[in-house]
Structure 1
Amino acid sequence: MAERQLLPALRGGRGTRSLLLTARGLSHLPRGLGNMNGLEGLSLRGNRLRRLSQEVEALSRLKVLNLGNNNLDEVPEQLKYLISLQKLHLFGNKINRIPSSVFDGLQNLVLLNLNNNQLTCLPPEIQRLKNLECVSLDNNQLRSIPKEFCCLRKLRELHLSHNSVIAIPEEIKYLTKLKILILSRNQIEDLPDGLSKMKRLRVLDVAGNNIQIFPTGIESLELEELYCEDNPLFEKKPVSAVQEEDILTLKELTARFILTQLENKNMYLHTAIKNNLEVQTILSHNRKCAQCGRGFLSMWLECVQFVDVKQRMKTSRNLELLPVRTLLCSYNCFNHRDHGLFGIAVP
């Protein structure tokens, strides 16, 4: 039946640019499809395909391919020959594996839709798809995101809702063009500090996770939409300091002294550090106290600042104040009056 419907298109030869074979009960590709080497759009959605024949390898001009709602259990390796492909839809299959070699030839791919499959991991080779702008992986079984995924510097949208992701890599800060990040209904406990460096981010959805507090600087993002309902967010409750003085290590004392001297433009010390890569590496992890502004290294007090963001962005209905992580260098700064910060109670 499908072959008969394909005959008129075959007679058109290279002049045929688009072919729609949706819900035709196909269990294999029609014979002669490989001869349509001028094809730019092909929809095989809603069939019974388990694999693709080698004929598809000849469709080197294909730009859009829809293989959604079939019976594929892995991303077909033949797709690597579709060097012109820009949009690939693989939603609603049974895909649990992506061969790393499939990324070799898809250098023009802009959109990848793998929603509603059975993926538990992503191969690090996905970083080869340098032109990807939109990736959708909703409703899979992903437990983590490889840091190599953050090499996709042109990415604008990332959809990861309804998975089992526990953590997002710090390297997400390199996705500087990302505008939409959907992480709802996962098992995320902590958001990386790098999230606050994503200045183009406009939509962030982390509803239905295990998040208690947001990373430092999140309030400086120009978000238009923020959704965080169904998270155990910290509540605004006063907590008093358990001690008055700090006992700092020699390393911390030395680091704080050096950071203060650098802040005061000590050129001798600046020159000495410039020639010492080990010291540079250690000091590169410094933070600044939210109260006094002085630098510190690895000993701090973690506090919460409750930020009212409801006036400048669309948020979850039940969100009143957003708990944001704030770091202080000492109990002395914590006990300073009127700083508007709250300590984190230890149960």
Structure 2
Amino acid sequence: MADTLLFRFLKSQPKHLKLNNQKLEKIPKLIGKLEGIRHLDLKNNKLKDLPEEVSQLFELEILNLGNNEFEEIPECVLFLTSLTKIHLFGNKIYSINPSFFDSLENLTFLNLNGNELTQVPPEICRLGNLQFLSIDNNKIEELPVEFCALTHLIEVHLAGNRIHSLPLEFGFLNNLERLYLLKNKIRELPESIGKCYKLRILDIAANELRIFPTEIANLPLKELHCEENPLLQHVPVHSVQEEEVLALKEITARFVMKELKDRWSYLRKRIRHYPDIRDMLSQSSKCALCGESFLNTWLECVQFISTKQNIKVKNMSGLVPVRALLCSYKCFNSPGHDYYGVAFP
């Protein structure tokens, strides 16, 4: 049947060829003659491989291999350098050959939903033009740090996996607008997610999240989904803590950082000659209450903010817990603020 269809298409040389829902187990080699085809739809068949003649479809831009029986991405796909979109959902793919990422530099859309993947290869960073990535319902436990080099990503779907954390460098994805992480095992979002300045939709529902990172309120979120997480509850308990004893390194670092605010300070002029110290101080944070800088010693607190007034999302109301760092118990014990210490059961 497929041969008959291909013979018919050879006469017209179509740009779009549909062979979906045909119960096909093989594709005839004749397909290599359709050199001008740009969109090939082979979804909902029983394919386990493709003939090498497919590699001759140099103008092919969209390839749909969804809902078949592939265990690996066919080798002939590596030669389709004009591809911009590829659908591989609903197969049995358990690993990806790193060479797949070397050839498809024009790829902007990749759908791997519903496969058997246990990891995302570090080589995925070579897909420098990728804008849409969906790997829902696989068995992925973590993302490589190289994932954060995909700076053109706009939409990412990672729902229904086993991911327990995101890379600390996640903030490099500064073009990201939609992020779907529901039904994973994420306990904490990286602080750097606050640098995803275009993020509009964040779905972190059904995870193990207890608290949001400090800059969540600075994101331009329109939708936030966080139901079915063990979020910290707003149950204030009065507590006064004694002032801690700081290490000499911490005391010195705080003094230097305070001096650096003075443009006439002697230290400000001299520190330019000590790049290692400058690098160390660049890792400092600021107290959420007094604004003073600190290096390695802080008090982790929580502030409950309104999703309507502070985050300004439209799809939910109420309070969510957001991490806040205070420089000392002196700040924590001062009256009039709404930061609370975190008590874990």
TM-score by length of 1: 0.96
Q: Give the letter aligned to residue 124 of structure 1.
A: P
1:8 aligns with 2:8: yes
**Partner residue in 2 for 1:132:** 130
> How far did residue 266 of structure 1 move?
4.5
Instruction: Check conservation: 1:236, 1:342, Cα contact below 8 A.
Output: no
> How far did residue 272 of structure 1 move?
2.3
Instruction: Check conservation: 1:77, 1:101, Cα contact below 8 A.
Output: no
SS across alignment from 1:273: helix
The superposition leaves residues 239-268 of structure 1 with CA deviations (integer Å, 9 ceiling, x where unpaired) of: 344532110001100110011001222543
1:117 aligns with 2:115: yes
> How far did residue 270 of structure 1 move?
2.2
> How far did residue 314 of structure 1 move?
2.5
Q: Pick from 314, 334, 345: which aligns with 2:332?
A: 334
What stretches of structure 1 move > 4 A for 4+ residues in a row? none
Q: Give the letter aligned to residue 171 of structure 2.
A: K
**Partner residue in 1 for 2:50:** 52
Instruction: Check conservation: 2:240, 2:333, Cα contact below 8 A.
Output: no
2: CA distance, partners of 1:267 / 1:92 = 64
2: CA distance, partners of 1:168 / 1:78 = 33
Structure 2 segments unaligned to the other structure (5+ residues)? none
**Partner residue in 2 for 1:184:** 182
Give the 5 Å matches for 1:139-150: 139-150=137-148
SS across alignment from 1:3: helix
User: After alignment, is 307-316 or 55-64 more displaced?
Assistant: 307-316
1: CA distance, partners of 2:182 / 2:37 = 38
User: After alignment, is 241-250 or 67-76 more displaced?
Assistant: 241-250
Q: Pick from 284, 287, 290: which aligns with 1:286?
A: 284
2: CA distance, partners of 1:21 / 1:269 = 72
The root-mean-square deviation of aligned C-alpha atoms, in Å, is: 1.2
2: CA distance, partners of 1:181 / 1:28 = 37
User: After alignment, is 266-275 or 323-332 more displaced?
Assistant: 266-275
**Partner residue in 2 for 1:36:** 34
**Partner residue in 2 for 1:67:** 65
2: CA distance, partners of 1:325 / 1:179 = 22
Give the 5 Å matches for 1:146-165: 146-165=144-163
**Partner residue in 1 for 2:221:** 223
**Partner residue in 2 for 1:92:** 90
Give the 5 Å matches for 1:191-206: 191-206=189-204
2: CA distance, partners of 1:251 / 1:266 = 24
Instruction: Check conservation: 1:240, 1:343, Cα contact below 8 A.
Output: no
Q: Give the letter aligned to residue 131 of structure 2.
A: E
The superposition leaves residues 192-242 of structure 1 with CA deviations (integer Å, 9 ceiling, x where unpaired) of: 001111110000000000000000111111100000000000011223445
User: Percent same amino acid among aligned pairs?
Assistant: 46
Q: Give the letter aligned to residue 276 of structure 2.
A: E
2: CA distance, partners of 1:90 / 1:271 = 58
2: CA distance, partners of 1:35 / 1:315 = 51
Q: Give the letter aligned to residue 60 of structure 1.
A: F
**Distance change (3 Å), C-alpha of 1:266 and 1:246:** farther
SS across alignment from 1:100: coil
SS across alignment from 1:104: helix
2: CA distance, partners of 1:78 / 1:271 = 61
> How far did residue 341 of structure 1 move?
1.0
Instruction: Check conservation: 1:303, 1:325, Cα contact below 8 A.
Output: yes
> How far did residue 77 of structure 1 move?
2.5
> How far did residue 134 of structure 1 move?
0.3
User: After alignment, is 163-172 or 21-30 more displaced?
Assistant: 21-30
What is the aligned residue count? 343
Instruction: Check conservation: 1:103, 1:125, Cα contact below 8 A.
Output: yes
**Distance change (3 Å), C-alpha of 1:171 and 1:323:** same
TM-score by length of 2: 0.97
Q: Pick from 20, 29, 35: which aligns with 1:22?
A: 20
Structure 1 segments unaligned to the other structure (5+ residues)? none
Q: Give the letter aligned to residue 305 of structure 1.
A: Q
